[in-house]
Amino acid sequence: MKKCKAIVRMPQRISRLWLLSCMALLLASAWKTWAQNAPATAADDATQAEKGAFFPALEEYEKRGKVLVIREKMLFEITAREERVKKLDAIAVSFQAMRRLKDGDEQLTQYLQLRRRVLETIDEISDTNTRQVELAAMVDTAMTAGGLLPQVSTYLQDVRRQLLDMGVLQKTAERRLQALHQAIKTAIQNIPPPAVFVNKTGIEMRLVGAGRGMFYVSSRPIPGASFQALQAAPTAPAPATAAPAGESAPTGDISMAEAVNFTRWLSEQEGVGYRLPEVAEVTVLQRAGVLPESAVWTLTPWRPADDLEFGRMCERFGVTLYHVWDPKRVFGREIFWGELPEARYPGLGFLVVTSARTGWLERWNRINAQL
């Protein structure tokens, strides 16, 4: 009976032993895994602790670095402001000194140089405004980051205030410079045109008249060399009186049509308008004592005041006569008399005139090219 009971209980014991064996194997595997992972977990904890100490230090270093950059940029702006104040004072002094200059060429040279300095300073202020806007953005970024020492925050606030003050001063300086630039332009325009200048064609032009009535007139009737230049021009009609190369053409023996053709060619060469004078202009020359050696053509039509029949006849046949100015009575007639535009004979030449602005522009271009 006892043997039978033992045989019946054997499967139960085997099941328990098998279960205990499995549990032992599982525990051994878990222990091994824990033993392997335990050092790594400790190392990770140490690494995290190091990172927790490193990143705040790095962040603080970066903040201090940005503040140092802001400080360097601000010192540069302060130095630049001091230099700009000196430059503005020097420009103002120079402008006042230039008003005392008498020579027109020297005046224009100095004004153009000063104008260049003014424009350069205006550009500098514009660049300064751009830099300071960027610097203000850096300050705002640093202040909003937080975690700064109280004295650093106070410094950044002071920088922000100084930048605002600088901006106001720069706007004032820019307005002063713009006003000075306009004053320089006005002063340049008020410089009288030169008394005499020689154009690109080599003709000497002399200033006559006064005020708004000023104009330039050639110092003498156009010489033969100018006619030779006209003859050499490929697109201009050559006057019949042009002399052969190497010879001097006479200043007279020129028809009005030839003279007008020359003034058109001269205007193209010079880039400004030249023409024959009007009677009103040669009257100014007469009063000023600027008298040519020969009779000269004018652009003013002529009609006899004491011969109405002759005037009506000219109108009937479509004939227009033009005033000839003969101040030295080369032809023994009146100072003014009429002639057909096709007429040409020795002793009848022409002068050329141009506006007073032509001489002003000639000096402007010449001095600008030298600067």
How many Cα atoms occupy the beta-carbon half-sphere of 227 within 13 Å? 28
pLDDT tens profile 58-71? 455 455 678 888 89
Q: What is the mean pLDDT of residues 219-230?
A: 72
Q: What is the mean pLDDT of residues 102-107?
A: 91
pLDDT tens profile 121-152? 999 999 999 999 999 999 998 888 777 788 88
The residues pairing with 218 across neighbouring beta strands, listed in sequence order, are 205
CATH 1.10.132 range(s) for the chain read 50-189
Q: Is 298 helix (H, G, I), strand (E, B) or coil?
A: strand
Reported pTM: 0.67
Q: Which residues contact 231 (CB under 8 A, 6 or more apart)?
A: 238, 239, 242
Q: What is the mean pLDDT of residues 345-367?
A: 93
- pLDDT band at residue 285, thresholds of 50, 70 and 90? very high
In the predicted model, is pLDDT for residue 245 greater than 50? no
Q: DSSP per residue over 7-69, as a string?
A: HHHHHHHHHHHHHHHHHHHHHHHHHHHHHHHHHHHHHHHHHHHHHHHHHHHHHHHHHHHHHHH
Of residues 294 and 36, the one with the higher pLDDT is 294
Nearest CA among 127, 134, 135, 133 for reference residue 74: 135
User: In this structure, what DSSP letter does residue 342 have?
Assistant: T
Of residues 318 and 56, the one with the higher pLDDT is 318
Q: What percent of the chain has pLDDT over 70?
A: 71
In the predicted model, is pLDDT for residue 230 greater than 90? no
Q: Which fold has domain 50-189?
A: Topoisomerase I; Chain A, domain 4 (1.10.132)
